[in-house]
Structure 1
């Protein structure tokens, strides 16, 4: 059963009497700051990171003085 408007008003009045208007407004201000910082964090996290492309590395392995190229296996990367 959904509470009626009169019951909601009574609960609000009781909360105001228990905590006072000052504490409630401070709490709401803190909640608003938290929501703002959360949204800011989401925006910062959504921006793509700009990084430089990795530079190619030359393989300098040698066998008897001759340069030998090695191939990486695609299965090892997965």
Structure 2
């Protein structure tokens, strides 16, 4: 079988351009590039600085839940058949 030669890949590229058109391929490329850039920015933002502030948030949520529990009425919903 072996690998494909450069001519095989050029024919495949020509067929893809004919089927999708250059404008559609350009849009796909820019969308893919934007997604990769957004992913890299998200990974960079999710590093060490956020890890230091995360443990404090659950303690505040627990305190707020305990204050709200005094006024909360627990009920159980039933479905009609």
- TM-score normalised per structure 2: 0.60
Greater fraction of residues in helix? 2
| Count of residues in correspondence between the two structures | 53
| Gap regions ≥5 residues in structure 1 | 55-78
Q: CA RMSD in A?
A: 1.8
Counterparts in 2 of 1:1-78, with a 5 A limit?
1-49=2-50, 50-51=52-53
Distance in 2 (alpha carbons) for counterparts of 1:48 and 1:26? 35
Q: Deviations over 1:2-44 (max 9, x none)?
A: 1000000000000000000000000000000000000000001
Tell me which residue corresponds to 1:66: none
User: Which protein is bigger by CA-based radius of gyration?
Assistant: 1
| Gap regions ≥5 residues in structure 2 | 57-81
Tell me which residue corresponds to 2:69: none
